[in-house]
Structure 1
Amino acid sequence: MTDVPDDVAEAFDRHDALVSAGDSYAVETTNFDGRVTASEGEEWRTNYEVTVRAPSLQAATSDEVGDAVVDGWLETLERRLEDAPKATRTAVELDDYSVVEAGEQVVVTFQYTMGGERQAADVAKTFVEYVEGTYVEGVIPGYDYVGVVADLLNSASTGGSEGSRGGTPL
């Protein structure tokens, strides 16, 4: 990562779930693309941005999904993800948060400022895992899911992976 304090880079390099990926660190504990970047903050703090890219509902299914369903699903996902800071083991106040649909992806972004670089790495991992878990919990039954979402659903219900599945594990 460029222009990051050495202690932040060292903590991220030592973290089991993070791997250096150019100007960011990738979170390797999920199937979704989760990345964290860091930049100098005020005084002894560092600014962090966690970005998670997941398939849109339409991209995750082989079926046609109506606009009302897509809008409702995205709104529900956004509301559920607001609680991500509660899943961490430390007090995290978000500086910014967004959930936007960008083509065939849903892009979730959390921005926060912290002084403890090891805690910040744990928070980043937790946020990415929370997005994936919340996404899977919000899968709508009755559609034929494909790709990574089908793999996640299959793993949740059977422990295997086949790449195509309908319904939810519940």
Structure 2
Amino acid sequence: MRADREIQITDTSSFPLFDIWAEKIWCGGSLWVMESYGRRVLVISDLSSPSSLSRRRGGVAQSVTDWNDTVIAHFLPGDPFLIQNAQRETIIRCSSMCVDGRRDTWECILEEAGREAARLDNGLLRFTPHIGFQLKLLIVAALSRALTTPRSSRSCFSFLR
């Protein structure tokens, strides 16, 4: 059963490429399912016991499994939104940027090379030519999560954070 939060990723001609939706599971956790043409591509799940790093960043670590049910990555939500490989090494850092007074631009940088991997600007995601398919999938999934997760607003009072 699909939840009310569903996203459809399309190409520039509005042809559907991916459907992404949330399913509620145990104790308020959720699974995010990413399908293409009716086949499951990725599943993103909140980890039940947040790591010290995820607690420090204010979010819950998420594991990413592929269609073979193999953990291929981890997400650490926030700004920046970190994408880690299966060994929990940060490989991509996605940060929102303020353009024309709006936060609708995201830039994803390859951690080791320091080069741009992708940029989301006003709903249009562009990848640089050297990015492989698996990294593209991870970036699409990460940005979908980043854009659908409510951001906590910064408070001027430290005790309210």
- TM-score by structure 1 length? 0.26
Higher relative contact order (CA 8 A, sep 6+): 1
Would you tell me which structure has more helix in proportion to its own residues? Answer: 1
Highest Rg: 1 or 2? 1
TM-score of the superposed pair, with normalisation by structure 2: 0.27
